[in-house]
Structure 1
Amino acid sequence: MATCVHIDEAKDTQPRANGCEECLKIGGYWVHLRTCLECGHVGCCDSSPNKHASAHFHEDKHPVVRSAEPGESWKWCFVDEVLAP
């Protein structure tokens, strides 16, 4: 599996919330959650209606998220479009 400098340099940041931060505020729902490894923002995945994890990347330019799903630890780099275990 490929890797990138963003994933190699990503922090082990703890999630700031127990659900998608924006969905919790607006009463939305999510399919899966992603945690930003730069700031801990928790956003919903691109299968969710609002795609808040991707929106966070486009707004704040934080490149790497980790799955926030139980039993999963993979990381995704939005910049290089690389998945790492």
Structure 2
Amino acid sequence: MEDTVKITAEELKSYIERIEELEQEKKDVQDHIRDVYAKAADEGWDTKVMKQIIRLRKMDDDDREEQEMLLDNYKRVLGMSDEED
């Protein structure tokens, strides 16, 4: 039984350490992304719009089309569109 507990403890420690490594890698990647946005902003690009484009590019075509249709409908209902209701 003691061997099982020891193996389990070692296995748990291994998982925890791997997760900690991945969390650090994630932080490093997030820092790099922030740097890219900062450079783009320094060159005059609108980073809010860039983030929206990236979010849209992650969506599949059907979901993106549905979201764009809903946005257009909401804008039209609120009088924020050139199109008549």
Question: What TM bracket, shorter-length normalisation?
Answer: under 0.3
Q: Which has the higher contact order (CA 8 A, sep 6+)?
A: 1
Q: Where is the helix percentage greater, Structure 1 or Structure 2? A: 2
Q: Which has the higher strand share?
A: 1
Larger Rg: 2
TM-score, normalised to structure 1, is 0.23
